[in-house]
């Protein structure tokens, strides 16, 4: 039974590690998108300052096009981020479930090892007692 439990423990640990890797990929994608959004905000602020000083861009509608492009880009990035956050939630739930399974398996293996140690100790004590009874006779 010990080998079966250890094999099962190995499988659950592998699934847990796979769930961790999945979560890490999603977190990296989230960080990338948040970075792009921050970059876009910086460009938007710099662009507004430049547009305020350039009346030619204002007359030709360049400022409106710029703001429209920024809004469109922000909308796309926010939609992508929303999708990633949905995936992150699902990955987190999978990770929790796999952690629970791995934790239970670790405890079962530990409990079995403890029981085997206790059984060996009991046998050893019994054999010592048997020897002492034999030597007393």
- What pTM value is reported for the model? 0.74
Total structural domains in the chain? Answer: 1
| Cβ(37)–Cβ(74) below 8 Å | yes
pLDDT on residue 98: 97
What average pLDDT does range 4-21 have in this prediction?
94
DSSP-derived letter for residue 1 is -
| Cβ(12)–Cβ(102) below 8 Å | yes
Domain hosting residue 71, numbered range = 2-136
Q: Any idea what the CATH number is for the domain that residue 78 is in?
A: 1.10.287
Contacts of 42-46 spanning 24+ positions with Cβ under 8 A: 43/70, 44/70
1 has pLDDT over 90: no
For residues 95 and 68, what is the distance between their CA atoms, to the nearest angstrom? 40
45 has pLDDT over 80: yes
Which comes out higher in pLDDT, residue 124 or 59?
A: 124
């Amino acid at each position: 039974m010990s080998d079966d439990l250890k094999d099962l423990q190995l499988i659950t640990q592998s699934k847990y590690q796979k769930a961790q890797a999945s979560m890490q990929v999603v977190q990296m994608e989230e960080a990338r998108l948040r970075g792009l959004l921050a970059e876009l905000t910086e460009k938007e602020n710099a662009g507004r300052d430049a547009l305020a000083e350039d009346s030619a861009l204002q007359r030709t509608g360049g400022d409106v096009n710029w703001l429209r492009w920024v809004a469109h880009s922000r909308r796309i990035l926010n939609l992508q981020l929303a999708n990633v956050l949905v995936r992150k939630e699902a990955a987190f739930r999978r990770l929790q479930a796999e952690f629970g399974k791995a934790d239970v398996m670790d405890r079962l293996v530990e409990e079995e090892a403890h029981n085997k140690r206790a059984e060996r100790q009991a046998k050893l004590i019994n054999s010592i007692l048997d020897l002492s009874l034999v030597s007393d006779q």
